[in-house]
Amino acid sequence: KLTDEERVYLNAAALGDVPILRQSLEDIDVPLNLNCVDYMGRSALHLAVDNDNMESIELLLDRLQFECLEESLLHAIIRTIIEHPSYIAGEESLKKRHKDPFFRTDEKSQFSPDITPLILAAHYNNHEIIQMFLSRNHTIVKPHHISCRCSECVTKRGYDSLKRSRSRLNAYRALASPAYMALSSPDPIMTTFELRQEMKKLAQVEKEFKSEYLSLVEQCMDFACELMDLCRGTQEVEAVLSEGSQENGSRDPLARLKMAMQYEEKKFVAHPNCQQHLTSIWYGPETGFMQSLTLWKKSLMWVVCVPLVPVFCFVYILSPDNKIGNAMRCPASKFITHTLSHVCFLILLAAATFRLDEKFLPIPSTRSSTSDWFENRSLGLLWMECKQMHTSGLRIYLLDDYNIIDFIVLSLYLASYTLRFLVDHRIKSVDKWYNQARFYWKPNDPEIVSDVLFAVANVVSIARTTYLMPAFEVLGPLQISLGRMIGDITRFLVLFTLVLLAFMVGIHNLYWYYGSQTFLVNKDGEQKLMHTSEAFQGMPRTLLSLFWSMFGLVSVDSVEIKHPSKEKVGHFLFALYHVAIIIVLTNMLIAMMSHSFEAIQGDCDVEWKFARTRLWVNYIDEGNTLPVPFNMIPTPKSLAYIWQWVKELFKSQRE
């Protein structure tokens, strides 16, 4: 209960009546608890702060305890309290005690015990107050990892798990403050990248606070883009994007951009300043004129230069340091030459598919004239992939899905060629089987297995052409949408498989006996052996029948048997299966893919620029100038590198 004097004291602080407040403080005859609070837990200083009465605040600061000062400070971060000697002295004493605020229980406080003045100032993004606390060596301690098993984290988790999660969220909300990152971090952009990765993981683990963490993730990304907006020239953009690239004495002008790509920072990568700097590197000084050419001029240049590409490659091999060599090293030129190499491969693939070089032969041999071209190109691709893996490192190399596709394609081609090579050398001595038609070969013959591998490799190789689509603004979003839809189909297959297995088991249990029974049928004067149920002969046949029935390839008559009760149940299950698969699940898949397509189109520009950047960076990196198969020809530069490597090897052995 409050005494009458305490009520007068609190009312004077709330109303800003300085004379009465001073009289209450100076009247030593009347006992007065200066730290008393009202029924809402508000002290006199708290009431004065709420009413912005600076004179009353200054009068109370010298006479109150540190706890009242700190509580009032949380309600109004003002310089008067922070700079007051009483607050500074109480702050120092609190540091010496080293007490974790997590375990404090103050029921009167309106703030969580883990909320410090610096954290609250960061929540409100108050630059001036944050700078004042940082000048006193205050920091916001980053929480331990979510799966940390140290004694402190285990104790907090057992003490109050909700309090621990809230404390972590409050800390990250303060750490993600733009003002705090700008004033406390030597590299704010890198700090935003790291915080985004941590909070993305937390959003996946702590689903209860997922929306809060994702909003902080977007806040960090917006801050990084705002920092890029402050760049006023190319030199400043280059300084930001090349930060942290001084490794091995070399400077990578796109080190920060590559890190942003690795972290999937799409808005940062698609920022106009980043894209403008990337475009200037892409075209370079030698081929910069291509950027401003009209369509008909570009077409004319292609008609003239494409037939001369082999000549340019040989010129580069003989003399890589002339004007043609510098132009060949330009990323745009590398992209064009590698694309032409892939187009030539597709032409050879068509020739091999339609057997254009063997159309006059009655029986095709195991090898064709295009086989040598395929083998040379595969070796060239293998050499290029090995160089790329050596340059970028295995971990970075495997992050690109198309590199994994290249590995699969090369494995299939090399396995196919190896089998054909073994076949040629093992059966040439047996002329009968070497020239025999394939109708007499065994199904597991190495030549047939080789053709199967070759066919699958061709399918994947042609599908890999989608790798070039992000280079074009019209086709790029389609390729991104295709990738998203493949993910939708993968998730859909989980539910589809469950429904398919459910009906497969039920129908198999219903028809297992009838599927194994046979009877003779007179057809066209001949007796033929027929199954009672053609579509459901065992589990594998039932699975195939249910799958192909989605496309209308299985008739309703397949569920008919000479047993009325069984037939009715079979008809019902078959009809229910079609309703579940065709009407419900298929339309669900269409809706999922439509949603993915609309999401890509809604942020089309950012998605396309990010995909294009990933494509461009592969050609901006040093090396792989010559396309396949010219990269197999040793160049003077490569011989010089080999000679230098041999010299260093012998030198290290001598030492």
| Res 600 pLDDT > 50 | yes
Residue ranges in 435-585 assigned as alpha helix (H): 446-463, 476-516, 538-549, 564-578
Return the axis-axis angle of helices 255-262 and 604-620, rounded to nearest 10°.
120
**3-state DSSP assignment of residue 279:** helix
Q: Which of 176, 106, 105, 190 is nearest to 142 (CA)?
A: 176
Does residue 636 have a cis bond before it (omega within 30 degrees)? no
**Contact status, residue 58 vs residue 81, Cβ threshold 8 Å:** no
Q: What percent of the chain has pLDDT over 70?
A: 80
**Contact status, residue 592 vs residue 573, Cβ threshold 8 Å:** no
As a whole number of angstroms, the distance between CA 467 and CA 482 comes to: 12
Q: Does the domain formed by 1-98 have CATH 1.10.1740.10?
A: no
Mean pLDDT of 182-210: 93
User: Of 87-96, 263-272, 499-508, 546-555, where does mean pLDDT reach its minimum?
Assistant: 87-96
Return all residues near 506 (Cβ < 8 A) that are at least 6 apart.
573
User: Of 9-18, 408-417, 551-560, where does mean pLDDT reach its minimum?
Assistant: 551-560
Over residues 128-152, the pLDDT tens digits come to 888 888 888 888 889 888 888 888 8
Over residues 471-530, the pLDDT tens digits come to 888 888 888 888 888 888 988 999 999 999 999 898 888 877 776 666 665 666 666 666
A 10 A CB-CB count for 115 gives 19
Which of the following CATH numbers is that of domain 480-620: 2.60.40, 1.10.287, 1.10.1060, 1.10.730?
Answer: 1.10.287
Q: Which of 43, 39, 1 is nearest to 21 (CA)?
A: 43
**Contact status, residue 43 vs residue 65, Cβ threshold 8 Å:** no
Sign for the CA dihedral angle at 210, 211, 213, 214 comes to positive
What are the residue boundaries of the structural domains of the chain, listed by start?
A: 1-98, 280-468, 480-620
**Contact status, residue 68 vs residue 43, Cβ threshold 8 Å:** yes
Residue 402: per-residue pLDDT:
79
Residue 562: per-residue pLDDT:
57
Over residues 25-80, the pLDDT tens digits come to 877 667 778 778 887 777 777 777 777 677 777 777 767 766 666 666 666 555 44
Average pLDDT taken over every residue of the chain: 80
| Res 218 pLDDT > 70 | yes
Q: Which amino acid is at 294?
A: T
Residue 636: per-residue pLDDT:
76
As a whole number of angstroms, the distance between CA 338 and CA 328 comes to: 11
* pLDDT band, very low/low/confident/very high, at 572 (cuts 50, 70, 90): confident
Fold agreement between 1-98 and 480-620 = no
